[in-house]
Amino acid sequence: MGNVVLVTGVARRLSGRFIRSVQREPGVDRVIGVDSVPPEHPIGDAEFVRADIRQPMIAKVLAEHAVDTVVHLDVTGMPLGRSRGGRALVKETNVIGTMQLLGACQKAPSVRRLVVKSTTSVYGSAPRDPAVFRETTQPKSLPGGGFAKDAVEVEGYVRGFARRRPDVAVAVLRFANILGPSADSPLAEYFSLPVLPTVLGYDPRLQFVHEDDVLDVLRVASREAERGTLNSGTFNVAGDGVLLLSQTARRLGKPTVPVLLPAVRWVGAALRGVGVTDFSREQIRLLTHGRVVDTTQMRETLGFTPRYTTAGTFEDFAACRGPGLLPPDRLARTVDRIAAALPHEA
């Protein structure tokens, strides 16, 4: 681990938890937290710098603090709270913000380690996908929108940075869907609905990673390996095993509403109307075709083994949700919109 660590996106809960935990790592002298808004949660002894990574000021922050390790967590599919801008602002932060941050890292001679949060969504979800995606597997169909497309662009910029700064160790962590007690993602919102819309005739395989394991693997990826080198490369990160979508519904104790595939786009619009953000085509494809990734590199090269399996992750998530998540009026509105999206016989 470097002496001075900079973490982006610290106003988000997961990043806040990470910045508190990384301060306890051996060899860490200072931790700098960066975001465009002040965090509402404690960040321990870390120093908060209010800076928008989309702006050139981030280069000044790196230089002034002589940062040697950058952990870029401000790559996400969710807007922060009720911030204005919605999806457009999220995309700008993901793509433009990453470009600006990498440009600043390129000019900062003190930087020698970069860790970037990505997603297994970069593989897409298609009917003829392989049973298991490895880090080197080329997707059958690249994501066409939403957070998944942002992540594809982000990874492209990171590869370019790695070529320009071969002296910097770069680790890209492709996380499966993150769940846990405080999970904040479109899929967590989907599972929080009182009735789960599904695609008729499909029961996709899904993988999850627990938010506690996310924190642990970020710390592992940010530190030097025992052999004195720095862990570099692209790594799939997921809990062991898979769950079918039908199994998740049963474990939540929630009914499903099967919808014909041509009508699914209207269901997506209905879900966005009741607050499920970024329920994009890529989310619908995931809930149609599923996605499973191989984690051999995570275990053998990175040396990390998750504490939670996919089933254990979902069990912990479900236990913290409980019944009665939505008020009756929102429940009725959700069911009405889903019913309206269903094709009617003449």
Domain residue extents for the chain: 4-179+208-237, 243-338
- Any idea which residue has 């051999």 for tokens? 296
What are the E-state strand segments in the chain? 4-8, 30-35, 47-50, 69-72, 113-119, 169-175, 177-179, 196-199, 205-206, 208-210, 233-237, 243-244, 256-259
**Residue 259: its pLDDT value, please?**
83
**Residue 341: its pLDDT value, please?**
55
pLDDT in tens, 67-96: 999 999 999 877 766 554 577 888 898 999
Strand partners, 234: 172
Residue with the larger pLDDT of the pair 280 and 247: 247
104 pLDDT exceeds 60? yes
CB count within 10 Å of CB 97 equals 24
**Residue 321: its pLDDT value, please?**
77
pLDDT in tens, 23-63: 999 889 999 999 999 999 999 999 999 999 999 999 999 99
Selection from 268, 265, 247, 266 nearest residue 256 by Cα: 247
* pLDDT mean over 302-329: 81
* pLDDT mean over 213-235: 79
Q: Cβ contacts of residue 55 below 8 Å, gap of 6+?
A: 100
Q: Which two tokens stand for residue 304?
A: 């990390």
The one-character DSSP state at 78 is: S
Residue with the larger pLDDT of the pair 222 and 325: 222
Q: Which two tokens stand for residue 77?
A: 């599919």
CB count within 10 Å of CB 204 equals 20
**Residue 331: its pLDDT value, please?**
45
Q: Which two tokens stand for residue 249?
A: 């519904």
Handedness of CA 234, 239, 242, 248 (dihedral sign): negative
The H or E element that residue 316 is part of is: helix 310-321
Q: Cβ contacts of residue 345 below 8 Å, gap of 6+?
A: none
333 pLDDT exceeds 90? no
Q: Are 200 and 231 in contact (CB under 8 A)?
A: no
Q: Are 270 and 264 in contact (CB under 8 A)?
A: no
**Residue 150: its pLDDT value, please?**
92
Q: Which two tokens stand for residue 32?
A: 């700098």
Where does the pLDDT of residue 327 fall: very low under 50, low under 70, confident under 90, or very high at 90 and above?
very low
136 pLDDT exceeds 60? yes
How large a percentage of the chain has pLDDT more than 70?
83
**Residue 87: its pLDDT value, please?**
73
Q: Which two tokens stand for residue 161?
A: 């940075």
Strand partners, 6: 32, 70
Q: What is the average pLDDT score of the chain?
A: 86
Q: What is the largest CA-CA distance in the chain?
A: 70
Class of domain 4-179+208-237: alpha beta
1 pLDDT exceeds 60? no
pLDDT in tens, 249-289: 999 989 888 888 766 666 666 666 655 555 677 888 899 99
- Any idea which residue has 């949700």 for tokens? 321
How large a percentage of the chain has pLDDT more than 90?
62
